[in-house]
Structure 1
Amino acid sequence: MSASSARGKPSSTGLENDARRANESADSHHVSPGDIALGVIIGRMSEFFDFFVYALASVLVFPKLFFPDFSPLQATVLSFAIFPLAFIGRPLGTLIFTAIDREHGRGTKMTMALFLLGGATAAISFLPGTERIGYWAVLLLATFRFLQGVALGGASEGLASLLALNAPHNRRGWYAMMPQLGAPLGFLLAAGLFLFLLTTLPQQDFHEWGWRYPFFVAFAVNVVALFARLRLVATSEFATLLERLELRPAYITDLVRSEGQNVVVGAFVPLASFALFHLVTVFPLAWVVLNSERIGAGMLRTQMVGAVVLFVMVILSGRIADAIGRARVLRIGAVLIGLFSFGAPFILGAGSVGETVYIILGFGLLGLSFGQTSGALASSFSRQFRYTGSALTADIAWLIGAGFAPLVALGLSSYIGLFSVGGYLLSGAICTVVALRRGRTLEMRDH
């Protein structure tokens, strides 16, 4: 149950009631750190899967389907212009679903958010191209993309903060990295589906109907993830922990008034990794497709190897953070990403071998830095504002750090030169270093 239900307000959904009955029939009702970690990883994997399915399709499918009258470069730029709408919608989603959380409970909020996320993603699979309904198709795509972001803004259930606060003092870096494992897992699932379809279907069949299957899968993945998370949210132990640790939704006005500076500084802390995030996933795929005769399958294979490296490095970041501190890991990661930015344009432009080196090295650096960003955002806030503060700060950070990255990188590299991508990446690294110098309470708020 949630705090709302304790006050007499409804907080149940059909799925939440099913989850509660499943808990009642279980041998043990204890919510262990392992249960929380599993729920966090499954939840983040489903969210990243939805976003990566869209991201890969924005390179492999949408330029031809929605912008057939433009050159390949122009069509991809237009496709990337729709890409940031989800990140623009995330803060709005946090505002809307925080109010739903206060009035109707966390279970209701999560159910609505994840059904909206899965529904908006699945709806894209039914869209015809502009050749059939004109630019209404583009408008519908933009609408569903925006709704993806609104839904993701409401998908937080507090498990990541709960996991961090229940972690042993000397293992907080280890537990802080667990939510980030959802990114490589979500990417591996999305890229694997697209790779299978690209390599088994004739190109015409892929562009007509094959690309739609990953979007269908997204809805099923979200339902499974929702039930896994509700099994934790529906327990009395979860509600008790939330009350004791004060992980309740706060009013945004109170948050900004009390800890607005933490929101601003916290939004810049992860910019090094967030800037790199789409520069190793979406942008290089577009670069290869546009500048070679390849259909992208080879790059997807390389990126899947990179995702495995990302997975390993995220885990390693937890070990390192427990040894030297999270802030130091983020600082080291930002400096390494800054150094990488000077060589990245030359490496990426050095043919297939250079592309492989760029992907593997980029994913590795991303894992080291990205692995600790979730814990860093949460640690910036006092307990009464941690739940809402970390969600809103993450929304803003993703918007300014990653939302426009594919569009900016492709535009700059195509019209100015590939070296400009390094400059964009360097700016994110500088922002992280400066923000860490301002946010000196980072290691002091885990209590």
Structure 2
Amino acid sequence: MNTATYTAAREADADAPVQANSTARVAVASLIGTAIEFYDFYIYATAAALVIGPVFFPQTSGTAQALSAFITFGIAFLARPLGSALFGHFGDRIGRKSTLVASLLLMGLSTTLIGLLPGYDAIGAWAPILLCVLRFGQGLGLGGEWGGAALLATENAPKHRRAWFGMFPQMGPSIGFLAANGLFLTLAMTLSEEQFRAWGWRIPFLFSALLVIVGLYVRLKLHETPVFAKALQQHDRARLPIAEMFSRHWGNVVLGSLAMVVCYALFYISAVFSLSYGVSSLGFTREEFLGLLCFAVLFMGAATPVSALACDRFGRRPVLIVGCLAAVASGFTMQPLLSSGSVVDVAIFLSLELFLMGVTFAPMGALLPELFPTRVRYTGASAAYNLGGILGASLAPYVAQKLVAAGGLGWVGGYVSVAAGLSLLAVLLMRETRETDL
């Protein structure tokens, strides 16, 4: 084919009609996928705070069991950047839809197998080893999930409503968290402690298999996003997306990662560390504290659409700056509110932290995809999101456990404030992306 013929063929491809996804289908597919993925992730977080230590590390002391459980919790965060590189490569090369299906399958399979894994008493040292392998698989799957869901939403959105569309995958964590903690709360209220530790904790992991079937059905009905379909028609794809991302867009990866730190610190300190601390040190029963978390996460869910609307009206940076400043201040409330042991004070603290999580998390659905061009958008958005997880969440419960032992809850609150300050600095150095043309 000569040059003129090839050019004409490319122009004809570029003008070919692209199949559009309905708004309702995009909203449901991006929301349900992240809800399922985060449900899987949160049931492990809850189990790590309540039962993973005694089941898989019974040969150690109570404190060592908690620390070991939180280390296995952190393994998935180390796997997430690898998942973002793996799934990001295929998402930028072959498409968003098929990559999202693969990430959901990996996450769901790993979660279900954790529910079937025998404990230390049955298979000895193989139990914690296999647990770490499956936890790594969870991390790989989630590493590819969020970026694809965010792109599914934003690449189907009108330019001035991208934050609103990007809000749908950001609502997934609230729904997944509520479902996970609600199920654990139901089990805590209906089973004895012995029944829960023997087999009850496995039910949420096994239930994941049914949720994955629903998620796959919804996602297989989708068309490719119009933005990526156009890139395919024009043969505009990176040969090696991760190399292009780091060579040309490394600054945005760094700033995006640091901007995410506040979200992770707020959530995992309040939802994982506080649960463990409340049950072990404040005298709350498991079901009481889970009930408080289920109440508090409603504030996170309410803050998410409000923050998204504000982002479309005022921009991403102003909303994040306000949210980060409030999060810095919130760290100083941890000592007086959480240490009191009062149900009202603890509920206020948890609601405040999760509300601010919703405020700072909602803009990320649009902001991170907007930082990168189509050629590396899946890889770049996923990398920023998951590298932020290493900094803000992977060791957060472990570090908090060490800090509270060394200096009390005030030190843990200081950790939250420092994390928020780091994100604030990144946002101040970042450009506004609201007018970016995807």
| TM-score with structure 1 setting the length | 0.87
1:71 matches 2:61: yes
Q: Cα–Cα, structure 1 residues 244 and 310, in superposed 2: closer, same or farther, change >3 Å?
A: farther
Alignment correspondent of 1:19: none
- Determine the C-alpha separation between the residues in 1 that align with 2:86 and 2:157: 30
Distance in 2 (CA, whole Å) between partners of 1:161 and 1:108 is 13
Residue type at the aligned position of 2:141 = A
Specify the alignment match of 2:80 in structure 1: 90
Residues 38 and 173 in structure 2, CA contact (< 8 A), matched pair in contact too: yes
> How far apart in 1 are the matches of 2:139 and 2:64?
25
Q: Is the alpha carbon distance of 1:175 and 1:237 closer, same or farther for their aligned partners in structure 2, counting shifts above 3 Å?
A: closer
Partner of residue 80, structure 1: 70
Contact 2:70 2:397 in 1 (8 A): yes
Aligned equivalents of 2:377, 2:165: Cα separation in 1: 16
Contact 1:247 1:387 in 2 (8 A): no
Which has the higher mean CA deviation after the structures are superposed, 127-136 or 413-422?
127-136
Distance 2:92 2:55 in 1: 42
Residue in 1 aligned with 2:138? 148
What is the CA–CA distance in structure 1 between the aligned matches of 2:169 and 2:41, rounded to whole Å?
Answer: 16
Which residue in 2 is equivalent to 1:231? 221
The correspondence for 1:191, drawn from 178, 181, 198, is 181
Residue 439 (str. 1) matches residue 430 (str. 2): yes
| Contact 2:21-2:225 within 8 A present in 1 as well | no
Question: What letter matches 1:371 in structure 2?
Answer: A
Q: 1:390 aligns with which of 381, 386, 389?
A: 381
Structure 1 stretch displaced more, 330-339 or 145-154: 145-154
In the alignment, residue 100 of structure 2 is paired with which amino acid? M
Deviates more, 1:46-55 or 1:216-225: 216-225
3-state SS of paired residue (2:247): helix
The answer on whether the counterparts of 2:231 and 2:374 sit within 8 Å (CA) in structure 1 is: no
Between the aligned partners of 2:243 and 2:72, the Cα distance in structure 1 is 30
Q: Is 1:407 the counterpart of 2:398 in the alignment?
A: yes
CA shift for structure 1 position 441: 4.2
Which region of structure 1 is more displaced relative to structure 2, 157-166 or 346-355?
157-166
1:266 CA displacement: 1.2
1:286 to 253, 273, 276: 276
CA positional deviation for 1:347:
1.0
My pick for the range that moved more, 348-357 or 127-136, is 127-136
Question: How far apart, CA to CA, are the structure 1 residues paired with 2:114 and 2:233?
Answer: 42
Q: Distance in 2 between matches of 1:115 and 1:311?
A: 26
Partner SS for 1:119 = helix
Q: Which runs of 5+ in 2 are unaligned?
A: 1-18
Equivalent in the alignment of 2:200: 210
Aligned to 1:336: 326
The verdict on how the C-alpha distance between 1:303 and 1:157 changes in structure 2, with shifts beyond 3 A counting, is: closer
Distance 1:61 1:247 in 2: 49
Cα distance, 1:440–1:46 mapped onto 2, change above 3 Å: same
Deviation at 1:241, TM superposition (A): 5.3
Per-residue Cα deviation, 1:351-397 (whole angstroms, up to 9, x for no partner):
13321111111111111111112222112123332222101111111
Q: Which amino acid aligns with 2:268?
A: H
- Specify the code of the residue in structure 1 equivalent to 2:62: P
2:23 to 14, 22, 33: 33
C-alpha change, 1:59 and 1:243, in structure 2 (3 Å) is: same
Using a 3 Å threshold, how does the CA distance of structure 1 residues 109 and 240 change in structure 2: closer, same or farther? Answer: closer
The yes-or-no answer on 1:240 pairing with 2:229 is yes
| 1:132 maps to amino acid | A
Assess, with a 3 A threshold, how the Cα gap between structure 1 residues 307 and 444 changes in structure 2: closer, same or farther. Answer: same
Distance 2:272 2:180 in 1: 12
How many equivalent residue pairs?
419
Give, in whole Å, the separation in 2 of the partners of 1:245 and 1:417.
58
- Equivalent residues of 1:381, 1:445 under 8 A apart: no
The alpha carbon displacement at 1:405 in A equals 1.0
Shift of 1:290: 1.1
In structure 2, distance between residues paired with 1:246 and 1:390:
21
Match of 1:55 in 2: 45
Instruction: Encode CA deviations 1:154-206: one digit per residue, 9 max, x unaligned.
Output: 33574422432443344333222221100110001101111111110111111
Match of 1:325 among 306, 315, 328: 315
Q: Alpha carbons of 1:139 and 1:162: their partners in 2 closer, same or farther (altered >3 Å)?
A: closer
Q: Tell me the secondary structure at the aligned position of residue 83 of structure 1.
A: helix
Gaps of 5+ in 1: 1-28
What code does the residue aligned with 1:185 have?
Answer: I
Q: Give deviations 1:403-438, integer Å, cap 9, x for gaps.
A: 211111122112321111111111111111111121
2:267 paired with 1:273: no
